[in-house]
Amino acid sequence: MSDADKRKFKRLSTSWIVRIRTRKPSDSTRIRLDERIRNVSLGGVFIETRYPFKLGSLVEFDFNMPGSSDLVHAKGLVKWTNDGSLRDLPVGMGIEFIEVASVTKDAISDYLDKGSSEDLLGPLTTSPDHKTLLKFYKAKVGQSFKLDALAGEIGVPHEKLIPLLSDFALYDLVGFSGDDVQFKKTTDENLGRALAGWSG
């Protein structure tokens, strides 16, 4: 695929977790967990992985878009791979959409249109508790807290904090390990700009 073909759609960088699988000739299913979609366009996605599938592989994959708990399912075709020779991208594969719901394409189109707008943060600012957590996140990004200690720090009851953190996890801003909560720096350039510009 030529550079022109790869760039015929507007694309934005992301850091969405994706589960991807492909069918082998034996009809067994190969599954990879916790790969990352590094950019998205209306035409497809680029997935970072050290072990790209072969060109022409038919794949199915599932992911969550920021601000939605609904799992997106899509089918695609591996159109090109990067073995490291393209320095502006990690090792991985470019996948062209061949089957995706119209509502998903609409959501991707909205995401592309918003770009670095604060609208990207909409689901993280829907309530006073969301805004409180977002302010705390911005001040403490890179740090870890015990769940109970975090609830006390921001003044949000434990039972309300879990759903809030789940919303942040959809943006890959929060990581969990037992009762440890880590505030993670985003690798999504557009989300990063939106976070930097948000003042509450």
Rounded distance between C-alpha atoms, residue 154 and residue 172, angstroms: 20
- Per-residue pLDDT band for 5 (boundaries 50, 70, 90) equals very low
Is residue 2's pLDDT more than 50?
Answer: no
- Tokens linked to 108: 């991707």
Q: Is the pLDDT of residue 42 over 80?
A: yes
Cα 191–Cα 70–Cα 33 angle in degrees, nearest 5: 75
Question: Is the confidence at residue 27, as pLDDT, over 70?
Answer: no
- For 165, the token pair is 């953190």
Residue 44's closest CA among 75, 88, 84, 1?
A: 75
Identify whether residues 98 and 123 lie together within a single domain. no
Q: What is the CATH number of the domain that holds 167?
A: 1.10.10.10
Mean pLDDT of all residues in 43-57: 91
Closest by CA position to 191, among listed 145, 93, 124: 124
Give the global pTM: 0.56
**Residue appearing with tokens 């599954």:** 31
According to the model, what pLDDT value does residue 129 have?
A: 92
Domain that holds residue 83: 3-114
Rounded CA-CA distance 16/74 in Å is 14
